Amino acid sequence: MLLRALCGEFNGHPFLGLHFDWTSVSLSMAHSVTAIIAASSVADHLLNDRTLVAVDLRDGHRLIPLEDDDLDSLGLDLSQSLEGFTYLSPSLIQFCAEHSHHGPLVYLETEYFGGMGTQSAAAFSNGALIAPTPLVGIGAINTALRSIGIIATSAPDEFDHIGLSRHRHTFRWKEAALNERQL
């Protein structure tokens, strides 16, 4: 509330005649991404005959953003998710495991706002989860990425190395994928 008052609002009303766009602040303070990361050939297999889209990342990998409608289009039961995950259910685990026969992949979720929140990830290869995933908490995504062979060589961690800091929201990744598709 103090920040809003300093920026010209109090209780949602203009204060001293000043206005501030809180949408941009909320989006920049949050990180909310649900996605699958895989080598391009595996991602292409996942995209086959589906309405999913993908964004190119570093080192020949791609990110498939998964909004609610994308997850719904997979026809999976997402009602019983694992603890610490929003969507990772037994049927989504089976889906990822089946597609990992074509190559390793990582399913990830982030949900942060104002520095508080969590991340979770699960890595798959040869039809099974890769230990020690699924993981929830700090470092979960980096551990999962390392387990499929993504190693940070040019950034502080695998998350930044592969390019996951490019967008902070699933819908922004999807916009980027649709823009790449048009090129």
Question: What average pLDDT does the segment 63-68 reach?
Answer: 95
Q: Does 3 map to a domain?
A: no
Classify residue 37 as exposed, middle or buried by CB count within 10 Å of its CB (0-12, 13-18, 19+): buried
The conformation of residue 126, written as its DSSP 8-state character, comes to T
For residue 67, tell me if it sits in a domain. Answer: yes
* pLDDT above 80: residue 3: no
- pLDDT score, position 28: 57
pLDDT band at 15 (very low <50, low <70, confident <90, very high): very low
Structural domains of the chain, count: 1
Give the phi and the psi of residue 46 in degrees, each rounded to 5: -65, -35
pLDDT band (50, 70, 90) for residue 113:
confident
Report the predicted TM-score, pTM, of the whole model to 2 decimal places.
0.82
Provide the token pair at 61: 């990998």
Rounded Cα distance, 149 and 5, in Å: 48
Backbone angles phi, psi at 130, to 5 degrees: -100, 125
Task: Tell whether 20 is covered by a domain.
Answer: no
Q: Where in the sequence is the domain holding 47, given as residue range(s)? A: 29-182
Comparison of pLDDT for 4 and 32, the residue scoring more: 32
Beta-carbon contacts of residue 13 (< 8 Å; ≥ 6 apart)? none
Indicate if the pLDDT at residue 136 is higher than 70: yes
Spatial CA neighbour of 46 closest among 179, 146, 145, 177: 177
Write down the pLDDT at residue 180. 83
Q: Which pair of structure tokens corresponds to residue 39? A: 């080598």
On the question of pLDDT at 106 being above 70, the answer is yes
Residues 6+ apart with CB under 8 A from 37: 57, 61, 62, 63, 64, 105, 106, 108, 145, 148, 150, 162, 164
Q: How far is CA 109 from CA 37, 41, 122, in A?
A: 11, 22, 9
For residue 177, the surrounding DSSP H or E stretch is helix 170-182
Domain assignment present for residue 99? The answer is: yes
